[in-house]
Amino acid sequence: MKCKVALGALAVIGIVSLSSTEADAGAGGVPSVLTSFFVCNPVSGPDPGFKFDVESPAFGRFDAAGNPILQRLEIGKAAFACAFARLFPAVPKGAPAPEPIEPGEGGQITCYPLVNQSDQGNAPSVKYDVFDPLFNNIPFTLSVPTRSGFLCAPGGYFPKLF
């Protein structure tokens, strides 16, 4: 189970990193700092069947000058659907709404499993038409569950030096 969560978190990091690069395309693309929380749900989407050369410190490989080395990776089936989210401290029912929690900034994200304590039954999935640059923005349908999933927060990952 821990392996699935770790692989899922790595998949989300890759998806967010790729989408950040795509959004900032031009002059080679520069990933932007993450400044939002995300809620991600597991999905089973189509496989674009593409290969990319990916640069990311998440892979932990650096050359002698300390620069990340490009790695050839094949993109598999969509595994998570993520959306921006705002977090608020939990308050008693009837209390005034608190200010949202500020997520800070980070180049990586960490995802935590969500447990919905008020959900007593099977929540339906919602179908979306997805426009994705990996599919040349030709829409495909994705069914996204409306419960469970992960809360992902930006942060910084730094190698531990012993």
Q: What is the 3-state secondary structure (H, E, C) of the chain?
A: CHHHHHHHHHHHHHHHHHHHHHHCCCCCCCCCCECCEEEEEECCCCCCCCEEEECCHHHCCECCCCCECCEEEECCCCCEEEEEECECCCCCCCCCCCCCECCCCECEEEEEECCCCCCCCCCCEEEEEECCHHHCCCCEEEEEECCCCEEEEEECCCCCCC
Distance CA 115, CA 148 (A): 6
Site of tokens 């919905």: 116
Burial category of 161 from C-beta neighbours within 10 Å (exposed 0-12, middle 13-18, buried 19 and up): exposed
**pTM score:** 0.65
Position 99 scores a pLDDT of 92
Model confidence pLDDT, tens digit, residues 82-110: 889 999 998 998 999 899 998 888 888 88
Position 122 scores a pLDDT of 67
Q: Which of 73, 12, 84 is nearest to 48 (CA)?
A: 73
Q: Which of 141, 151, 125, 131 is nearest to 9 (CA)?
A: 151
Neighbour count for residue 88 (Cβ, 10 Å): 10
Model confidence pLDDT, tens digit, residues 114-129: 877 666 556 678 888 8
Model confidence pLDDT, tens digit, residues 12-65: 444 444 444 334 333 446 677 888 999 998 888 888 888 888 887 677 667 788
Give exposure, 25-52, as e/b (b: 16+ Cβ within 10 Å).
eeeeeebeebebbbbbbbbebeebeeee
